[in-house]
């Protein structure tokens, strides 16, 4: 391999694929990034065996690429990224000197780094699978932002660490839950197909951070029940799917709501945020009391103190007194969007639902907390 390339183009691509690399992997080759040069440009691959990212850099004037000799290299991700970041030139020269020894040159700085054998890298199959779903970038962003935060972070039930995608009767339902809260986003799809898969939340966050940039308009999604691929013009993010049957979450969502609070979303967020430092056993618990006369939110800790604030909103139903995790409700309110939200209660100790009054495609559910105030 012998080539020159724009430092910024290479560094940005390395940053992207390095997100899939585990620096502590027991397999040394999976700590590395594989780069292959051919007549069309460079292909970079990073993987931790669960999630794999392939990024292409075209051999064109924009990327200032000139390929003299084709070939492949495999170098540990942290060294490769640091070398490119610190080289003192807008154009970088890369040349394999001997075996796996690779030379990186800038204006005056030169690095010679020992790599690994590229042929030892796993043969990751990035060929697309099944029939694709084409999705607008903004729609995918709204799914990720509206659901993935509610997935479980502990592996007690691995399937709950992902976002469930279920396509049925031309409706795509995306759901995440950690058993204490639930987030759901639905959208219509004119597609004669059906599937039920669960994608790790880690993968969803990676797609949002790495793939959904300003130049991307559409994403193609492929899946075959074992793995899923998100494909753009110059990039593929491929991930294993989570095993196990995702719980039937629809039965957890109440159907009737005799108590409804309509309130300004930002006002509720600010009110909760003002009290979030008041904690019991490292958890901030808000108490909400609603009646026809007043809406009051309080927080109390024997060690720290208490807060009391009157809110402005519209409430219908008998008086209700309910407590909840401040973090759960503030997260739900932030991600649901809109100017005004409805908090719909089905009972004193029953799950309650938060809805955007202008968009019925997104729903947030939170379980109340039992307190002894």
Q: What angle do CA 192, 187, 254 make, to 5 degrees?
A: 115
pLDDT (tens place) for every residue of the chain, 373 residues total: 999 999 999 999 999 999 999 989 999 999 999 999 999 999 999 999 999 999 999 998 899 999 999 999 999 999 999 999 999 899 999 999 988 899 999 888 999 999 999 999 999 999 988 888 899 989 999 999 999 999 999 888 999 999 999 999 889 999 999 999 999 999 998 877 889 999 999 999 999 988 887 667 889 999 998 999 999 889 999 999 999 999 999 888 999 999 999 999 999 999 999 988 888 778 889 999 999 899 999 998 878 888 999 999 999 999 999 999 999 999 999 999 889 999 999 988 899 999 999 998 999 999 998 875 5
239 with 261, same domain: the answer is: no
Burial of 30 (0-12, 13-18, 19+ CB in 10 A): buried
CATH number (domain holding residue 78): 3.10.150.10
202 with 146, same domain: the answer is: yes
90 with 65, same domain: the answer is: yes
260 with 314, same domain: the answer is: yes
Residue 71 lies in a domain: yes
Residue 372 lies in a domain: no
Q: Are 79 and 100 in contact (CB under 8 A)?
A: no
- What pLDDT sits at residue 371? 74
Residue 181 lies in a domain: yes
141 with 181, same domain: the answer is: yes
259 with 359, same domain: the answer is: yes
109 with 143, same domain: the answer is: no
- What pLDDT sits at residue 129? 86
Residue ending a domain, choose from 220, 250, 280: 250
Residue 373 lies in a domain: no
Residue ending a domain, choose from 187, 221, 250: 250
Number of domains in the chain: 3
- What pLDDT sits at residue 372? 57
110 with 80, same domain: the answer is: yes
Residue ending a domain, choose from 120, 154, 186: 120
Q: Which residue intervals of the chain are DSSP H helices? A: 7-18, 77-86, 137-147, 201-210, 265-275, 326-336
- What pLDDT sits at residue 155? 82
111 with 202, same domain: the answer is: no
Residue 332 lies in a domain: yes
Quote the domain boundaries for residue 162: 133-250
245 with 306, same domain: the answer is: no
Q: How far is CA 210 from CA 48, 55, 72, 90, 121, in A?
A: 16, 10, 24, 23, 23
- What pLDDT sits at residue 214? 63
Residue 126 lies in a domain: no
48 with 31, same domain: the answer is: yes
Sheet of 66-69, strand order: 66-69, 2-6, 91-98, 101-105, 110-114
DSSP codes, 246-303: PP-GGGGS-S--SEEEEEEHHHHHHHHHHHTT--BTTB-EEEEEE-SS-EEEEEEETT
């Amino acid at each position: 391999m012998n080539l020159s390339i724009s430092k910024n183009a290479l560094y940005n691509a390395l940053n992207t694929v390095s997100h899939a690399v585990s620096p502590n992997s027991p397999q040394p080759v999976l700590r590395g990034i594989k780069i292959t040069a051919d007549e069309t440009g460079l292909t970079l691959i990073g993987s931790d065996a669960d999630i794999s990212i392939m990024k292409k850099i075209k051999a064109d004037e924009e990327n200032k690429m000139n390929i003299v000799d084709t070939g492949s290299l495999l170098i540990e991700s942290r060294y490769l990224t640091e070398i490119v970041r610190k080289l003192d030139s807008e154009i970088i020269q890369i040349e394999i000197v001997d075996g796996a020894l690779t030379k990186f040159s800038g204006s005056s700085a030169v690095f010679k780094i020992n790599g690994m054998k590229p042929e030892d890298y796993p043969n990751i199959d990035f060929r697309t699978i099944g029939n694709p779903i084409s999705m607008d970038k903004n729609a995918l962003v709204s799914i990720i932002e509206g659901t993935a935060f509610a997935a479980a972070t502990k592996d007690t039930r691995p399937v709950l660490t992902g976002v469930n995608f279920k396509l049925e009767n031309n409706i795509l339902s995306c759901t995440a839950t950690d058993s204490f809260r639930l987030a759901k986003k639905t959208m219509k799809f004119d597609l004669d197909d059906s599937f039920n898969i669960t994608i790790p939340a880690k993968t969803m966050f990676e797609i949002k951070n790495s793939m959904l940039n300003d130049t991307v308009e559409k994403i193609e999604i492929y899946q075959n029940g074992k793995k899923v691929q998100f494909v753009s013009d110059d990039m593929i993010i491929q991930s294993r799917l989570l095993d196990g049957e995702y719980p039937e979450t629809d039965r957890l969502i109440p159907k009737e709501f005799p108590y409804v609070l309509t309130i300004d979303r930002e006002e509720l967020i600010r009110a909760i945020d003002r009290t979030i430092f008041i904690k019991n056993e490292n958890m901030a618990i808000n108490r909400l009391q609603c009646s026809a006369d007043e809406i009051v939110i309080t927080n109390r800790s024997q060690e720290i103190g208490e807060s009391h604030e009157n809110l402005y909103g519209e409430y219908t139903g008998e008086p209700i007194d309910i407590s909840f995790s401040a973090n759960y409700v503030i997260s739900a309110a932030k991600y649901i969007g809109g100017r005004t939200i409805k908090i719909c209660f089905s009972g004193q100790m029953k799950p309650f639902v938060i809805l955007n009054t202008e968009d019925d495609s997104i729903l947030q559910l939170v379980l109340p907390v039992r307190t002894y105030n």
